[in-house]
Structure 1
Amino acid sequence: MRRSAFLRRLGTAGVLLAGLLLAVPAQQTTAQAAVTATPTPSAAATANPYVTASDMKVTPSTYTGSCQVGPYGLEHIVSATITVSKPMTVNYSWMADYGFWTAGSVTFDAPGSKTVINAFYRTTSLKGTMRLKLADELGGAETEAASFDTVCTEPEVIASQMQVTPAAYTGPCNETQSGLAHEVSAKITVSAPTTVKYVWINPENQPWPDPNPVSVTFDAPGTKTVSNVFFRTTSLRGTMRLRIVEPAGVADTQAASFDTVCVKPTVSDISKQRTDENEVCGPGAPAELTLTAKLAVADGPSTVDYRWYRKSNQTRNQWVYLGAGSAVFTSTGAQEKTITTRYSTSVSENGYFKVELSSPYQGLGQSAFLVSCSTKNDL
């Protein structure tokens, strides 16, 4: 009846691996220097003169915190010292406060002391005692009871500071063979040692990269940053979140948005046309030139910034800035736009025009020109 009552105290979560307190089956012994132990007064009358048991301990004896610290819960080590005055085999039993727990034996080849140990695990709170009892044929003496008080509390867990880097990007997505790298990161904070399992939640509200959670272990209260990487070769706009799977009940991080526009802008077909009505050019009658070029992107929407430059005998053969602009592509898919600018000169000039893509940079194009101011057909 006492055993059944204790089982009801334990509950299902407290049933352990090898006995009611989940004893580790294998018994371990450690040789120590020979000492003489004094039996407890209650056991003195029946104690065997050749063997004594003492120094009963449960470690930890008191604990408050998370018990989710291993595959079976929080480990408790029980230990006691057995001392003999002649070679012999000692049979003993571990006793919980409800009665028998599990048995063991240890052999001595000579007089001395040995420490015997065992273990049990807790995933829920429990307060009790443990002791070691010698076999009845050895007198049945017992150690003093060693008490323990384990209070299992779930640590506070907070997930925060979710980020996707880059959060906004327009440009080529050929940074690597796999595409443009995006790092997802978040912080996990715990108030006590514990193991946290988490998953990333993608724009489709599904676990990413797969449903299996990732674990991060805290040996002490604190904060850790967790991260992962995904790649894009095509445009995508969405959000990412971090979800704590275990312990349950922790709120997701706020969603971190990202907007990636994969474009591969190119410039081509730079051309120029004389648009003034002057047969010859000079002071008060400049040659007016209209410059055009084609910009193309592989996908949109996107905005491409560009700059016009000129280099000629009038600039000492150095590139000189002419002006800048932006081409806005509002649709998806491959697109093309024509850009224009104007240039005028009142002197003969021989050189080049070029367009340089500045954001995102992908290339440039250039074309030669000639203005002799003797005819409007010498471009």
Structure 2
Amino acid sequence: MLPAPENRRKIVHIDMDAFYASIEQRDFPELRGKALAVGGSPDGRGVVATASYEARKFGVRSAMSSRQALQLCPHLLFTKPRFEVYKQVSDHIRAIFRRYTDLIEPLSLDEAYLDVTEDKAGIGSAIDIAKAIKEAIKRELNLTASAGVSVNKFIAKIASDFQKPDGLTFIGPSKVIPFLEALPIDKFFGVGKVTAQKMKGMGIHNGADLKSFSEFDLNRHFGKSGTFFYHMVRGNDTRPVRPNRISKSIGIEDTFSADISDKDEMMQELKTLCEKLEKRLEAKDKIGKTVTVKIKFSDFTQITRSKTQLYEIEGATAMYELVQELMDKVDVEGLKVRLLGVTMSNFAEPESIPKEGRQLRLF
């Protein structure tokens, strides 16, 4: 099955709701309806991998230290991750996807793009397909998923997050521009915390504000990312769903002779790792869109946090800016870290990377 032409694609983005925590609550009735953290521990050590929606109401979130999570939610329950179970559930979900299309692009265990322009079941309506997928996941796995349906991947991903949990949001062709114009700037996929703050300082608070800036002015303020922002707010995304996307990565990490607990020292180590990673990527002529930070603590528990851009990330400075955004979401205060790592993945296809004068590829 080949991807449909850009102007008539029907894209669905499926995102499972609190995936790890929902599986634990499903399998253990005593955890249902309770504020639950997967990962971490009640003695305040370790880091939360994910939190149930009951816990999120108190401000508990992933990558937060157990200590801070308990301060926000003293009655929080903790459970150890069961990754082999999560993988089995993910495989079942993808089998459900395959009933409707072969054009599936997984992003993680709990998230994927589907091109359902020509669905195998002959349903025809992308909204009905998304409903059928959600119903099958609920019936067969007793879990909920949120879905976004639109004309391209960028809009579908934003839509899937719009009515979580158990949501279904459709943004048709005639609604794309009004939706983007009204969307708060920090809700745009690809606009991180630092960039959002800079935009707000320029008077850019929503898509309509962003749209008032010319491509030239955006490039002047944000470098070549300005061209991406210019097209983003206009809903331009020609990327096909890639079922055979290569997920190879290049990374570097460092295990310390003595654990470190100072955040500034960690950031300096990560900056050095970004500089070393830049040289490895240049040597292999690779350029990617996803940066991942790996943190291993003194008790040997570890977390990874990733950020994906819709444009290629070039150079140590750009990598480090994303690393800073990721680390802003991780509470490491009072925790001892024995290893840090930075990885680049989601590489551009070789033929799309000029040997000289690389330019931003739009989507």
What TM-score do you get using the length of structure 2 for normalisation? 0.23
Greater helix share, structure number: 2
Quick check: which has more Rg, 1 or 2?
A: 1
What TM-score do you get using the length of structure 1 for normalisation? 0.22
Greater strand share, structure number: 1
